[in-house]
Amino acid sequence: MMRGSIALAEGAITAGCRYYFGYPITPQNEISEHLSALLPEVGGVFMQAESEIASINMLLGAAAVGARAMTSSSGPGISLMQEGLSYMAGSELPALIVNITRLGPGLGGIAACQGDYWQATRGGGHGDYRIIVLAPNSVQEMYSLTIKAFHLADKFRNPAMILADAILGQMKEPVTLSPPEVEIPAKPWALTGAKGRNPQLIKSLFLADGEMEKHIRHMHEKYRRLEETEVLVETDLEEQMDLLLVSFGSCSRMVASAVALARSRGFRVGLVRPITLFPFPADTVRQVSRLAGKVLTVEMNTGQMWDDVRLSVYPGCQCRLLARPGGSIPTPYQILEEIEKFIKAGDSLAKSVR
Amino acid sequence: MDYYDVVFSGFGGQGILLAGDVLAHAAMLESKHVTWMPSYGVEMRGGAASCTVVISSERIGSPFAEAPCCLFCMSKPSLFKYQDKVKEGGLLIVNTSFVEASLVTRKDVTKICLPASEIAHQQVGEHKMANMVMLGMLINACKVVGMEKTEAAMEEIFSGSKKKTLPRMIRAVRCGYEWQPTADNGPIEGTLP
């Protein structure tokens, strides 16, 4: 049994992460606290920086020399990091950024919320880029997806983010740990000192004619490859379905309970849970929505993933949204009520924010 | 599907989260699916503290309890907050050292009112172990985990520097497990220090 935040920290150590830079903020301090104890034991470095801006730039430096490194923060801190994150994406530097979100804009409360979906999946900072975004929904996944995030970051030379919230950070569940990794893939591009080889340069701006377009297209090609090969999605479907639910992260736990309740009352419903938010499981949503005809998205915000769902559904599907922003959590019975209403009424595209 | 959820509630410092942790850990050792979800204020002591433990034979969706099977209650505010939420026919366990039994107004649940702090003080010499006495009572009453796995869970939780408290903690749980409620459910003799 361990807390999600602790599992995430353990996952980082298992993945061979040896450098952490961060600045305290609730509700993710357990990650830093645990890593401050674990990292020195494995010969790593734990650095409490003077600010989030310093943290992300230290992370950039560590990534540039080829280290497995990470930072973690929450809403306001992640906003401060966006400039550095944009630089890292533009410079193609792999690292893990963890966002245990806050709720609302501005200072933000510490209760669970999914209001950072757009910021995470649209890049977040300036420029034409994406980051890899993984959304765990259990303590086990806080562990295993952290390991996965380091793999994907290195494989695609791109920053990766774990997007979770206070529910996943604070909750305890049983976890199965895997053996530690010792092999980290070779990074011939890393800045390791030019002894015995030509000097290398890592940068995000290319001034020669057409170079910048080439660079952006190369990055875009990478994102296309991510979409083709690295989508992770969990589905719980029936052969015949009258309604499909789509939900991610902690919210999908309440939806899973609602699905069980709905089935026990004879409703034929399915659930698609995107695990990678970027790349988004658009193909799965399209194929399954075709079978169901009606798609209900449930989110703990005012409807952000709903954009991606509507872009992905099979043409002609009816889409509805159950949204609980501001730290409210939809209860399984509230979701059940919405399922029942949608299946029975079947009206057109309508937003329902409760 | 076997499904059992418990809300542990009281003040910060009473060991509310710890009592939930022991039950959750024991359930894991019983090979059940389990979640433990805490909720507490910014204060180290004195604020409201609660946690929800869900135990199931199948994968658990929501880690919250809308209508818990059982309420473990160690303070008046938490009794007022959660009493009406307990499922009909559910179980309500109240520490009468802190909460008058007369405040428990639900008629459609099984009520167990025990002066856990006095029991802990008299039997174990430590009134602060009331949470473990209450837990023992809960384990006996709800029959979701066994005493053997509970003790095994405690051995894992109270390790290292906490190991010296383990024997008394286990004794406190056993006292609660074996305690026979009296007819009037009032405080037993003896006073708190």
* β-pair partners for A278: A133
Q: Any idea what the CATH number is for the domain that residue B100 is in?
A: 3.40.920.10
Through-space distance between the first and last CA atoms of chain A, rounded to whole angstroms: 34
Is A257 in CB contact (< 8 Å) with chain B? yes
CATH number for A234-353: choose from 3.60.110.10, 3.20.20.70, 3.40.50.300, 3.40.50.920. Answer: 3.40.50.920
How many whole angstroms separate alpha carbon A110 and alpha carbon A101? 8
Q: Which of B21, B31, B35 to mutate to test the interface with A (most CBs of A within 10 A)?
A: B35
To the nearest whole Å, the CA of A6 is away from the closest chain B CA by: 14
- CA-CA-CA-CA dihedral for B156, B161, B163, B165, to nearest 10: -120
Chain B residue numbers touching A256 (CB-CB < 8 A): 59, 61-62
The tens digit of pLDDT for each residue in B56-112 reads 999 999 999 999 999 999 999 999 999 999 999 999 999 999 999 889 999 899 999
- The C-alpha atoms of residue B54 and residue A161 are separated, in whole angstroms, by 29
From the options 3.30.450.20, 3.40.50.970, 1.20.140.10, 3.40.50.720, give the CATH code of A2-193+217-229: 3.40.50.970
Residue B105 located in a structural domain:
yes
Domain count, chain B: 1
Answer yes or no: is pLDDT of A316 > 70. yes
Q: Of A259, A260, A331, which is closest to B66 when you measure between CB atoms? A: A331
Q: Is 60 exceeded by the pLDDT of residue A347?
A: no
Non-local (6+) Cβ contacts of A151 within 8 A are A15
The residue written with tokens 């405690």 in the block is B154
Summarize pLDDT for A254-276 with one digit per residue, the tens: 999 999 999 999 999 999 999 99
Distance in Å, alpha carbon of A230 to nearest chain B alpha carbon: 26
Domain ranges, residue B15 = 3-178
**Among B28, B37, B61, whose Cβ lies nearest the Cβ of A174?**
B28
Dist CA A16 CA A330 (whole Å): 37
Candidates A2, A6, A137, A173, partner chain B, best to mutate (most B CBs within 10 A): A173
Q: Are B129 and B145 in contact (CB under 8 A)?
A: no
| Residues in Cβ contact with A62 at an 8 Å cutoff, skipping those fewer than 6 apart | A19, A21, A69, A95
pLDDT at A71 over 80: yes
Q: Tokens standing for A301?
A: 């915000």
Give the residue from B163, B176, B168, B171 showing the smallest Cα distance to B114.
Answer: B176
C-alpha A114/C-alpha A102 separation (Å) is 8
Q: Residue range A280-293: average pLDDT?
A: 97
- Quick one: average pLDDT of B11-22? 96
The two tokens of residue B76 are: 């008046």
Q: Tell me the nearest-neighbour CA distance from B25 into chain A, angstroms.
A: 7
Domain ranges of chain A: 2-193+217-229, 234-353
Question: Tell me, what's the ipTM?
Answer: 0.93
Does B23 map to a domain? yes
Cβ of B64 and A258 within 8 Å?
no
Interface A:B, Cβ pairs < 8 A: 50
Query: Is residue B183, in this structure, part of any structural domain at all?
Result: no
Minimal C-alpha gap between B149 and chain A (Å)? 14
Q: What is the mean pLDDT of residues A218-234?
A: 98
Number of CB atoms found within 10 A of residue A178's CB: 12
Identity at B75, one-letter amino acid code = S
**Strand B110-114 to strand B91-95: parallel, antiparallel, or no bridges (unpaired)?**
parallel
B136 and B177 Cβ atoms separated by less than 8 Å: yes
Chain B residues in contact with A329 by the CB 8 A cut-off are 64
Contact A171 B24 (CB under 8 A): no
